[in-house]
A = this chain, B = another copy of it.
């Protein structure tokens, strides 16, 4: 089953599974910043609604969204926030998520370029692993507007970045 899933993931054109690289390039230090950019599509919203079961009409009914004060339907906040574990786990495969706080500051609309940013605020060794804390933010590239603010803690098997 795992082999079949890997094959399907590799076949997906939607993303590059960086963890298949085995080249360690550099070691994570406090203050290091990792970023990833993404643009969310209508199809992303639909697929996320299906897998999360979150069918809030704000996400696919423009009239409801406008009636709530938005310009158009909005991307699920938890889908935008998924940028953080993506960034962390693509740099540190096998990372275990321990906590995440999320403050949703602004709506994200379909087609907007969103930058996920993860800054290491502390890194310490613990029982042959590493406990890393990160400041986690998302910005709109246009206008550099803060979309999500928060913090995450992850247990990393290694602090050698795989990218």
Binding site for B on A (CB under 8 A): 1-2, 5-6, 8-9, 12, 14-15, 17-19, 38, 42, 44-58, 60-64, 67-68, 73, 76-79, 81-82, 85-86, 89-90, 93-104, 157
A52 neighbours in B (Cβ, 8 Å):
48, 79, 82, 85-86
A-B contact pairs, 27 of them (CB 8 A): A2-B61, A2-B62, A2-B63, A2-B73, A5-B42, A9-B46, A14-B51, A15-B55, A38-B53, A47-B47, A47-B50, A51-B51, A51-B79, A52-B79, A53-B82, A54-B82, A56-B85, A56-B93, A58-B94, A58-B96, A64-B93, A67-B94, A77-B100, A78-B82, A98-B104, A101-B101, A101-B102
A12, B51: Cα distance in complex, Å:
10
Copies held by the complex:
2
A81 neighbours in B (Cβ, 8 Å):
78
The reply to whether B19 and A56 form a contact with Cβ atoms under 8 Å apart is yes
A76 neighbours in B (Cβ, 8 Å):
85
Given known pairs A15-B55, A55-B19, A55-B89, the reply for A9 and B49 (CB within 8 Å) is: yes
A12, B60: Cα distance in complex, Å:
15
A9 contacts which of B17, B50, B58 (Cβ < 8 Å)? B50
The reply to whether B94 and A103 form a contact with Cβ atoms under 8 Å apart is no
The reply to whether A99 and B96 form a contact with Cβ atoms under 8 Å apart is no
Smallest CB separation, A161 vs chain B (Å):
14
Most buried by B among A49, A54, A57, A85: A54
